[in-house]
Amino acid sequence: MSSIAATIPIRKETTPFLQDVRAEAAQAESIASLEKGIRSRDEVLAIVAHDLRNPLTVIKTSAALLQMGAGQEQQELLSMILNACGQMQSLVNDLLDVARIESGGFTVERTRVEAADVMEEMRRMFESAAAEKGLRFDVETFGAIPPLYADRNRLIQILSNLVSNALRVTDRGTIRLTVEGDRDKARFSVADTGPGIAAAELPHLFDRFWQVRSSRRGGAGLGLAIVKGFVEAHQGTVEVTSEIGRGSLFSFVIPSYAAAVA
């Protein structure tokens, strides 16, 4: 006696609807596992960066102490060690900043800040680097700038990241740092006469670890992600306009003390 099951073939193929559902489920699963992978990478990066800070400080302090009694040859080697430590420290700090921004744990400590002060500090920081490359570095203020409501160190860091990018990619011409203001806010801009950025690259520009493929790689690709995170923590947005062969202009707005605190 044969059973019904034996006579009716079992269909292995599924309906188009079921196939769609399964494909979507598989896609969702792979996106979830990708996101999990990215989260664990970020966590590992944050932990490693944090734990590297202390040994780095020890190396740097010891090298600085050794330099005091060192002869000419050792002096040079110790200077190289100190330089490398400085670079590692700034990478470690950038990684920690990005990790804080990504986790939502980044906060700014805002006080009353004078734009003139910040502009003067920027001039001091970058004028010799620009001169060494044969570039003009113009620092200009338009109109009366009201006292700002900003985290001074973070504001300096935003501008430094923008100016150092401009300096690195520009071979001739001018880097121009400007600020203009009204009662409620000030707009800072950094313009360069460098290679410019292709329109297709602009949407990714502020992603962490992202670098234009053809560009001169300077660092890790974290600077602009940090700029975006810091500007947003000041309730602002960063804008960029660029033209290949002519240069780029980055700008952002910081609220005035009166507008933010009143």
Ligand X SMILES: Nc1ncnc2c1ncn2[C@@H]1O[C@H](COP(=O)(O)OP(=O)(O)OP(=O)(O)O)[C@@H](O)[C@H]1O
Q: Which is nearer to ligand X, 63 or 190 (CB)?
A: 190
Q: Number of residues interacting with ligand X: please give it, by CB under 6 A.
A: 24
> Applying CB under 6 A, which of residues 205, 231, 238, 254 lies at the interface with ligand X?
205
Q: How far is the CB of 209 from ligand X (least distance, A)?
A: 8
How far CA 99 is from CA of 45, 121, 217, 237, in Å, comes to 8, 27, 22, 20
The span of 67-75, 108-116, 181-189, 215-223 binding ligand X (CB under 6 A) equals 215-223
Report the interhelical angle of 16-68 vs 72-103 (nearest 10°). Answer: 150
DSSP at 254: E
Site string for ligand X, 110-129 (x = CB under 6 A): --------------------
Q: Which is nearer to ligand X, 151 or 192 (CB)?
A: 192
The span of 17-25, 40-48, 178-186, 206-214 binding ligand X (CB under 6 A) equals 206-214
Under 8 Å between Cβ of 157 and 109: no
Strands 136-142 and 174-181: parallel
According to DSSP H, which parts of 69-192 are helical?
72-103, 115-132, 152-169
Give the CA-trace dihedral at 224, 208, 185, 196, to 10 degrees.
40
Q: How far is the CB of 160 from Mg ion (least distance, A)?
A: 9
Q: Which residue is nearest to ligand X (CB)?
A: 219
44/231 Cα distance (integer angstroms): 26
20 CB-near residues (< 8 Å, 6+ apart): none
> Applying CB under 6 A, which of residues 137, 146, 185, 192 lies at the interface with ligand X?
192
The span of 9-17, 70-78, 135-143, 223-231 binding ligand X (CB under 6 A) equals 223-231
> Applying CB under 6 A, which of residues 181, 195, 229, 236 lies at the interface with ligand X?
195
Positions touching ligand X (CB under 6 A) are: 94, 161, 165-166, 169, 192, 194-195, 197, 205, 210-212, 215, 217-225, 248
